[in-house]
Amino acid sequence: MKNDAKDLRRGVADRQAPRDQRTLGGTTGKLSGTIGALFGMTGEDRLWMGRAWLLGVALVWAIALVNVLTIQHDAPRLGLVRPAIWETSSTLVTIFVFLIPGAMALWMVKRRPRWWRAAPAHLIAVLLYSALHVASFVAIRKLCHSALLHERYVFGPLSTEFPYEFRKDMMSYALAMIIFWLALQRSAHKPRELPLPAAPPTFDIQDGARRLRVPVAEILAVRSAGNYVEFVLADGRRPLMRASLTAVLGDLAPHGFVRCHKSWGINTTRMTALRSEGSGDYAVELGAVTAPLSRRFPEALAALRKDGASATSSTAGAI
């Protein structure tokens, strides 16, 4: 009886599980790999190829686990070790031969070959993929069966077994190619980074020991106050800085400031109304603030009228 049991175990090992028990992905594998060392890849390409490969690794191990449990359920006489060896060997090899469809996907995206060049290249690649996959997992299974189970592993006749494996390898190669190709397409179509909006211009006001940094647009007007310049701000503050009105207006002129009186300079972009005071003088309303406009500064009046005409034209165009 003991000899019969021993012969039975060896007979089981010499025969592979029936084909209906070798489900897709058990003796082959699926999905992606990484080819980060290949020439021509950008950092973004390597990132997405790596993600595709990690997805493939997770999937093939999940498929292997399901197949081990399925074989054990359908053929409990095989035990747990045999299906574990079969599925693990196939999965480990698949993870590495993913380099082939990964390289082909990179070639397709970077070189964009014509179909008459791509078709034979893919045929050679899938033959190499399947040959390496089958030869490698058979070698691993032979070693594991001998070391762990003390029995011989027989793959079966190549004339029938290799075409069976090749059909599944073609499917896994095509699926891996598509996933790598999509990953590279995602890398190539990275959203363009929009330039950051320019920060609004500011002006530093040295108010005694304090340095105030205020947006230029918030300065309604500046006026002379002895040896100081008073800044009229939109929020109601009126800080003082020791400087001449001429010097301050020289700094603010590029931002639309003009001198309208011997003691005043205004921000032309903040004018809300222009009122005639008679004798060629005007009053410039800047919200709640009113500044004098002397007839001695006609360039200020011209600038205000020009800005007003531009604003009116823009409003009319919008309407």
Q: How far apart are the first and last CA of the chain?
A: 102
Instruction: Let me know if domain 202-312 sits in CATH 2.40.50.1020.
Output: yes
Which is it for the CA torsion 215, 218, 220, 224, positive or negative?
negative
Average pLDDT, the chain: 82
Residue with tokens 């179909």: 115
- Per residue in 20-38, pLDDT (tens digit) is 344 333 333 333 343 444 4
Q: What are the extents of the domains in the chain? A: 2-188, 202-312
Is 46's pLDDT higher than 90? no
Q: What are the contacts of 232-239 at 24+ separation with CB within 8 A?
A: 232/286, 232/289, 234/270, 234/287, 239/205, 239/207, 239/210, 239/212
* pTM as predicted: 0.50
Pairing of strands 273-278, 228-233: unpaired
Residue-wise pLDDT tens digits, 121-138: 999 999 999 999 999 999
For residues 256 and 269, the answer to whether their CB atoms sit within 8 Å is: yes
Residue 190: which pLDDT band, with cuts at 50, 70 and 90? low
Q: Which are the contacts of 142, defined by CB distance < 8 A and separation ≥ 6?
A: 152, 153
Which pLDDT does position 192 carry in this prediction? 62
The single-letter DSSP state of residue 148 is I
What is the predicted pLDDT for the residue at 224?
Answer: 95
Mean of the pLDDT values across residues 144-166? 92
